[in-house]
């Protein structure tokens, strides 16, 4: 079940410029911050990466990486580090919660041929390990954990960030030519830039679990993304870890609000939200197979501008948090990283200009994706009669035309 990578031209490596005088500070070493650090180092920049966490660990969850994201990761030279852990699903099987087939959207070789890059599903920890390994192997990047970027000042020489945490208990000032806030949904850098409004809770909770593939019948380990949609919620499951484990995410309406990422939840709590007869036995069997669950409330923001000021900007969820209903949050962070490096390579003499050009390129696209993700919230969870007409329309279109509707998303290249 090892996936074949389609290697695009190494764009990021091709734009190497030696810029040793430029030191970029990045707050946050999530998928966005790690990818940005790598992309900037590949064009010759020095990067100081800080994360408030003492250890970078990803809880048991999977992630879909569409060709617009895998193209960047492969160009950064990550294929060798990650290929052994990914699955390239052959298709997305879309069903109603009662189990009726709606459509099968082809992925696999078809999508790799169409877009020149594969569609992968991967355990987040495996993606993070690959990114972290590449970051640690890069002498231009320093990574400090237990280091929260709490504030910054802009002056004529660039930016001075105030960093505190267990790595520097008394706090320390870090100077850079630019500061990138890749610090997630609850971004401190966004707040310090003047956006004091908290993110919006969507009134939905996602429960996620990872189970050994061996405890389910063999068809669940086949390379396929299963998406079940119903008025009460939706369910996604697919194999990760080269088919050895199954990732499950179940989303339902729920008023719970919290900023935590790893709240434990019980199997009973999940099953209660996916009751019979609305949910097919097969869907409930998948849910019942997982004993340990974690949950987190879903949130986003409406698209907003500006993202930054002077030599400071935002990237990833800090800039454009979105609902996960298009599976594009991390993909957008990865795209951001590639564009950031491209614009720094074009205007290495003027970080503020490079950052405004980065923002101007990224904003229309990420806004479109944020809106499309919110629309999917509405479309996935329609009740009767809307669901009836939705399903009839999707069936009539068929899988090939449905996946082609995402060409605008997947064919992107920096």
30 vs 158, which CB is nearer to ligand FAD?
A: 30
30 vs 230, which CB is nearer to ligand FAD?
A: 30
Residue 224 · residue 218 · CB < 8 Å: no
- Which residues between 303 and 322 bind ligand FAD (CB under 6 A)? 316-317
Of 184, 185, 149, give the one whose Cα is nearest residue 167.
149
223 vs 348, which CB is nearer to ligand FAD?
A: 223
User: Does position 330 bind ligand FAD by CB under 6 A?
Assistant: yes
Q: Which among 81-89, 176-184, 302-310, 374-382 is the span making contact with ligand FAD, rule CB under 6 A? A: 176-184
- Which residues between 95 and 124 bind ligand FAD (CB under 6 A)? none
* Catalytic residue list contains 388: no
How far is the C-alpha of 310 from the C-alpha of 222, rounded, in Å?
Answer: 49
How far is the C-alpha of 116 from the C-alpha of 114, rounded, in Å?
Answer: 6
Interface with ligand FAD (CB under 6 A), residue from 148, 190, 357, 362: 148
As measured in angstroms, the least distance from the Cβ of 236 to ligand FAD is 8
User: Does position 329 bind ligand FAD by CB under 6 A?
Assistant: yes
As measured in angstroms, the least distance from the Cβ of 38 to ligand FAD is 13
- Which residues between 241 and 280 bind ligand FAD (CB under 6 A)? 249
- Which residues between 179 and 198 bind ligand FAD (CB under 6 A)? 182-185, 188
As measured in angstroms, the least distance from the Cβ of 67 to ligand FAD is 12
User: Does position 128 bind ligand FAD by CB under 6 A?
Assistant: no
52 vs 313, which CB is nearer to ligand FAD?
A: 52
Q: How many Å is the Cα radius of gyration of the chain? A: 21
Q: Which among 101-109, 153-161, 221-229, 324-332 is the span making contact with ligand FAD, rule CB under 6 A? A: 324-332
User: Does position 149 bind ligand FAD by CB under 6 A?
Assistant: yes
As measured in angstroms, the least distance from the Cβ of 239 to ligand FAD is 14
164 vs 395, which CB is nearer to ligand FAD?
A: 164
User: Does position 19 bind ligand FAD by CB under 6 A?
Assistant: no
How would you class 27 by CB atoms within 10 Å of its CB: exposed for 0-12, middle for 13-18, buried for 19 or more? buried
**Annotated catalytic residue: which of 238, 358, 380, 406?**
238
Interface with ligand FAD (CB under 6 A), residue from 333, 345, 352, 403: 333
- Which residues between 339 and 378 bind ligand FAD (CB under 6 A)? none
For residue 167, give both structure tokens.
């790595």
- Which residues between 27 and 86 bind ligand FAD (CB under 6 A)? 27-33, 50-53, 63-64
Which residues are tagged catalytic? Answer: 238
The binding site for ligand FAD (CB under 6 A) comprises 27-33, 50-53, 63-64, 148-149, 182-185, 188, 206, 249, 298, 316-317, 324, 327-331, 333
């Amino acid at each position: 079940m090892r996936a074949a990578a389609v290697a695009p031209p190494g764009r990021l490596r091709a734009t190497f410029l030696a810029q040793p005088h430029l030191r970029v500070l990045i707050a946050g070493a999530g998928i966005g911050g790690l990818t940005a650090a790598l992309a900037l180092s590949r064009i010759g920049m020095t990067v100081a990466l800080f994360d408030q966490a003492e250890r970078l660990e990803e809880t048991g969850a999977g992630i879909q990486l569409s060709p617009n994201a895998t193209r960047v990761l492969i160009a950064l030279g990550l294929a060798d580090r990650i290929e052994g852990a990914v699955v390239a699903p052959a298709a997305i099987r879309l069903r109603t919660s009662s189990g009726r087939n709606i459509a099968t959207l082809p992925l696999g070789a078809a999508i790799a041929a169409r877009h020149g890059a594969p569609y992968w599903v991967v355990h987040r920890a495996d993606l993070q390990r690959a990114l972290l390994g590449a970051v640690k192997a890069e002498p231009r990047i320093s990574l400090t954990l237990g280091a929260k970027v709490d504030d910054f000042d802009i002056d004529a020489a660039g930016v001075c960030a105030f960093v505190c945490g267990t790595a520097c208990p008394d706090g320390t000032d870090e100077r850079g030519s630019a500061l990138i806030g890749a610090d997630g949904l609850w971004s401190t850098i966004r707040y310090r830039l003047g956006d004091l409004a908290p993110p919006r809770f969507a009134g939905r909770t996602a429960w996620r679990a990872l189970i050994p593939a061996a405890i389910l019948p063999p068809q669940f380990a086949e390379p396929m993304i299963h998406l079940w949609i119903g008025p009460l919620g939706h369910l996604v499951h697919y194999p990760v870890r080269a088919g050895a484990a199954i990732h499950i995410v179940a989303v339902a309406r729920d008023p719970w609000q919290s900023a935590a990422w790893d709240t434990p939840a019980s199997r009973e709590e999940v099953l209660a939200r996916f009751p019979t007869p609305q949910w097919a036995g097969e869907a409930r069997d998948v849910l019942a197979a997982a004993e340990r669950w974690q949950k987190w409330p879903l949130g986003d923001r409406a698209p907003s501008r500006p993202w930054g000021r002077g030599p400071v900007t935002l990237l990833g969820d800090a800039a454009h948090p979105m609902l996960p209903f298009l599976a594009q949050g991390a993909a957008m962070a990865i795209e951001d990283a590639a564009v950031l490096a491209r614009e720094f390579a074009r205007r290495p003499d003027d970080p503020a200009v490079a950052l405004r050009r980065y923002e101007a390129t990224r904003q229309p696209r990420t806004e479109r994706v944020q809106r499309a993700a919110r629309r999917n919230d509405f479309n996935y969870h329609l009740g009767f009669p809307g669901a009836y007409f939705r399903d009839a329309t999707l069936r009539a279109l068929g899988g090939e035309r449905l996946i082609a509707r995402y060409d605008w998303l997947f064919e992107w290249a920096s």
